[in-house]
Amino acid sequence: MPLFHLLFLSLVQAISEFLPISSSGHLNLFQHIFGDTPSLVLDIFLNTATLFSVLLFLKDPLLSLLKNTISFQKKAIDKLKLIFIASLPAAVFGLLLNQFPDSITNVKILPLTFLSTGLLLFSTRYLLPRNEKLTPQKALLIGIFQALAILPGLSRSGLTLFAAILSGLSLKSAFEFSFLLFIPASLGALLLNLPDLGSLSTLGLIPSLGSFLIAFVVGYFSLSFLRKQLESQNLWLFSFYCFFIASVSLFLSV
């Protein structure tokens, strides 16, 4: 893969991983445009870079959760249970789809999945945020939406935020829970594909580190931007971009 392609894809990953527009869908689409073979391993590698962005961005709630868990505080234990429940659907779905990697890199599904993401995002304009308690049933619902987002074009952040707001969570709680869920999902994907990461050695050490750094830094600022848009109740505005990219992917996939 040419160096420009790799660095450009790193930038795309960093921006689209956290904005509700689907990073996997964009990576697949641009690899298709460049004539590169869609690589699930490259997706996982760049996703790991943005995992570090989340760990840094959520360092305060993560450290608080760790401290309270070590001291066996019930509230922290209950939160970990909810994260575990919400992570189960993605674990099951990920294991199933890992047997059929072509289904995760097929650009022909992008028009439909981008359109679906756009429709869900647009519907958040009519969902009034509340401040209800997160229950195991609501956590499972959010987890199911996260599992669906394994398919390219379905935005993980977009779908989980939609499900969290639909479940009555406050915007702050929706944001935090969505990205706490990202951590085990990203780690799970990394562990599943760890044996294949050696194939990235063909890219070279310096280009690989450069792409990792780009994804990490830009990903951090994308998270900050998304939180501001969510707090301003502007999540639905991203739907118009999803409708646009659905049209582009339809044109390019026929």
pLDDT tens, position by position, 105-144: 678 899 999 999 999 999 999 998 888 999 999 999 999 9
The residue with tokens 């004539």 is 35
The pLDDT of residue 232: 93
Please report the sign of the dihedral spanned by the C-alpha atoms of residue 67, residue 69, residue 73, residue 77.
positive
The pLDDT of residue 32: 83
**In contact, 5 and 84? CB cutoff 8 Å:** no
CA-wise closest residue to 55 among 219, 165, 189: 219
CA-wise closest residue to 87 among 137, 144, 47: 144
CA-wise closest residue to 98 among 236, 167, 226, 194: 194
Q: How much is the mean pLDDT over the chain? A: 88
* pLDDT for 178 beyond 60: yes
The pLDDT of residue 146: 94
- Please provide the distance, in angstroms rounded to a whole number, between the alpha carbons at the two ends of the chain: 24
CA-wise closest residue to 9 among 42, 37, 40: 42
DSSP state, residue 232: T
- Percentage of the chain beyond pLDDT 70 is 90
DSSP state, residue 98: T
**In contact, 203 and 2? CB cutoff 8 Å:** no
**What angle, rounded to 10 degrees, do the helices at 238-253 and 23-34 form?**
30
Query: Kindly report the CA angle at 230 between 185 and 7, in degrees rounded to 5?
Result: 55
The pLDDT of residue 37: 67
Residue 185 or residue 77, greater confidence: 77
| Averaged pLDDT for residues 145-164 | 94
* pLDDT for 222 beyond 60: yes
* pLDDT for 165 beyond 80: yes
What the block records as the tokens of 12 is 């795309």
What the block records as the tokens of 213 is 């750094």
Q: Which of 7-21, 89-103, 130-144 has the highest mean pLDDT?
A: 130-144
The pLDDT of residue 38: 61
